[in-house]
Chain A
Amino acid sequence: MDSHVSYFFWDLLNYLINGLTQGSIYALVALGYTMVFGIIKLINFAHGEFFMIGAFIGYYCILSGMPFALAMPVAMIGSGIVAVIIERIVYRPIRHAGRIPALITALGISLFFQYAGQMIIGADPKAFPSSIENKTYQLGEVYFSTSQILIVTSSLILMLFLYWLVNFTKMGKAMRATSYNMKAAELMGIDTNKIISFTFFVGAAFAGAAGVLVGLHYGTVDPMMGMIPGLKAFVAAVLGGIGIIPGAVLGGLVLGVAENLVVGFWMATYRDAIAFTILIIILLFKPSGLLGVNRREKV
């Protein structure tokens, strides 16, 4: 009986650690969702694809012999640049057409990257080269690996960086002003187009970092890898209250842990259904999310 309880306890700890790892990935991707939504009220369905692009840039960088510490920033900048180009060519012309056309366009871009990726790179999963030594550590009955430590620490560093960027720099102040009221920000002399591009860049760079980390942790990358994490990161963003930056981190961690607990203790086949169930429950009972404030629509 006693060993039964202690097994349960160790299992719980292991699931919590896995959940924390996955949750930090969701949080990194969700940050981009929430920032873009906060500024132009667009659900950027293509955000999961920036995650995929980042993973592939990292894959090719490491294949060409770059060390991991260099490949990750390159992947971040690369996916950031792709996002800025997409924003400039596609999102900017339709920004004033309303929310539903923008949403449909984002869907189109997401499909475009997925299928163009399949055609150009090939649909089969590629083995991500292990550029760091991946050791497994044991503490009691708790297991964790180097890549898990790397994921948690690097997402923590990136989140602290974002916190500094948004709260203590001039750019961050302009971003907050634009998301609060775009017209007023424009009248105060802020170049809102530049701010929006910058937001896309930062969001996609975070997603790209998450992509490289996922490639390293799970060992494979494929062109469809962005879809499910993208949707789940969106769920995480809504869970924490979309448009609220700390909310995205909280939502990502809660979602990652909840998913791993359900998979571990109950049913593994329902893994993908959990996120959507959480999403629907949140939308129905607290549509503004965990950290959000409810506002009624007025005429």
Chain B
Amino acid sequence: MDYFLYLTQMCGIFIILAVGLNLINGMCGQFSLGHAGFWAIGAYTSAAFTVFVAPPLPGFIVLFIGCIIGFITAGIAGLIIGVPCLRLKGDYLAIATLGFGEIIRIVIMNMNSVGGPRGFTGIPQLSNLFWVYLWVVITIVVIANIVRGTHGRAIISIREDEIAAESMGINTFRYKTLAFCVGAGFAGVAGALFSHTTQFISPTNFTFMWSVIILLMIILGGMGSITGAVVGAIILTILPELLRFFGDTVSQWRMVIYSVILILLMMIRPTGLFGKHEFNPLKFLKLGGKS
């Protein structure tokens, strides 16, 4: 039972990560490969907060403050990285964010106060299913509202054509930075929840491979679709666990299977399962209703 609880919590954490990355990659069209870095920043700062400086308050308040701290620090890191990097385009941006993600990890590895390469132990288990899914709801509501509002139109116009958006008077740099900071901030929240779920974090949790897996989630679901990101996150969190039932060999080939899925998706359906469409369960139930 504990195992299923843990798995459901991990699903929630990855939903937050994927929806956040979707705002940057899918909605704004800025290809970022450093999401695991922001995740790490949130995880480490919130864990450091609860372990070293937490006031004697009830656990859920400490966790909430930890999540806010994770959001703010990762958001600020997003700002620091985004302001110089977002001048770059396409694959250059991808490489620069990849570089920053790795630098964050190497810096953490060299910080002895948070355990360095040995990892950070002794984090209290404050998070539970309720708090994880409360944050999932907050993330989705906030990002869906950003996307549907004026800011969202501006952000989507940057994805469609940056030069055209700029000539229509949109401050592209401002909106790119906004999307980048909000996405990074929610990765920080996911980090805070992650560290207080697993109680142990180490720099190996946040390698470049995890950035790729989060990216794979939103590609699978469809870049630019929030529901797609949610579905992609759930599938890719459950899939490796399901593969265990087929024996050890299949489970060990998990990463090979992932990479083949990734390649085939790009060749056959590069838009992902949902494309840019949203799946609205309320509309689906009222069959034939106006969309």
Contact = CB atoms under 8 A, between A and B. Distances in A.
A273 B212 contact: no
A90 B267 contact: yes
B95 A283 contact: yes
A140 B84 CA distance: 46
Contact of B100 (A90, A105, A235, A276): A276
Contact of B94 (A93, A103, A116): A103
B64 interface: no
A279 B99 CA distance: 8
A111 B163 contact: no
B7 interface: no
Given A273-B106, A276-B102, A280-B96, A90 B263 contact: yes
Contacts of A112: 256, 259-260, 263
B239 interface: no
Contact of A283 (B90, B92, B110, B263): B92
Interface string B90-113: 111011101110110011011000
A270 B95 contact: no
A5 interface: no
Contacts of A277: 99, 103
A105 B91 contact: no
B252 A270 contact: no
Given A272-B106, A279-B95, A287-B92, A105 B163 contact: no
Given A115-B255, A273-B106, A287-B88, A107 B267 contact: no
A165 interface: no
A272 B102 contact: yes
A270 B106 contact: yes
Nearest to A104: B266
Interface residues of A, number: 40
A293 interface: no
B240 interface: no
Interface of A is mostly: helix
Interface string A21-58: 00000000000000000000001000000000000000
Interface string B161-190: 001000000000000000000000000000
A273 B102 contact: yes
The size bracket of the interface on B is 35 or more
A299 B259 contact: no
A297 interface: yes
Residue in B98, B252, B256 with the greatest tally of chain A CB atoms within 10 Å: B256
Contacts of B84: 280, 284
B94 to A, nearest CB: 6
A93 B265 CA distance: 12
Contact of B266 (A108, A267, A284, A287): A108
A269 interface: yes
B88 A283 contact: yes
Contacts of A116: 256
A137 to B, nearest CB: 34
B286 interface: no
Given A100-B91, A119-B256, A276 B270 contact: no
Contact of B253 (A97, A119, A273): A119
A108 B263 contact: yes
A262 to B, nearest CB: 13
B225 to A, nearest CB: 16
A194 interface: no
A215 to B, nearest CB: 23
Nearest to B212: A107
A216 interface: no
B91 A103 contact: yes
A112 B209 CA distance: 12
B87 interface: yes
A70 B37 CA distance: 44
B251 to A, nearest CB: 11
Residue in A110, A115, A116 with the greatest tally of chain B CB atoms within 10 Å: A115
A299 B260 CA distance: 36
B110 A108 contact: no
B31 interface: yes
A49 B255 CA distance: 15
Contact of A94 (B103, B215, B266): B266
Interface in A185-208: none
Contacts of B262: 104-105, 107-108, 111
B219 interface: yes
Contacts of B100: 276, 280
Interface of A: 43, 90, 93-94, 97, 99-105, 107-112, 114-116, 119, 231, 234-235, 238, 267, 269-270, 272-273, 276-277, 279-280, 283-284, 287, 297, 299
8 contacts: A104-B262, A108-B263, A111-B258, A112-B256, A112-B259, A119-B252, A276-B98, A287-B88
Given A43-B94, A105-B263, A280-B100, 19 more contacts: A94-B270, A100-B91, A101-B270, A103-B31, A104-B262, A107-B262, A109-B259, A109-B263, A111-B258, A111-B259, A234-B95, A235-B99, A267-B110, A269-B109, A272-B102, A272-B106, A273-B106, A276-B99, A276-B102
Closest 4 CB pairs of A and B: A276-B99, A108-B262, A112-B259, A115-B255
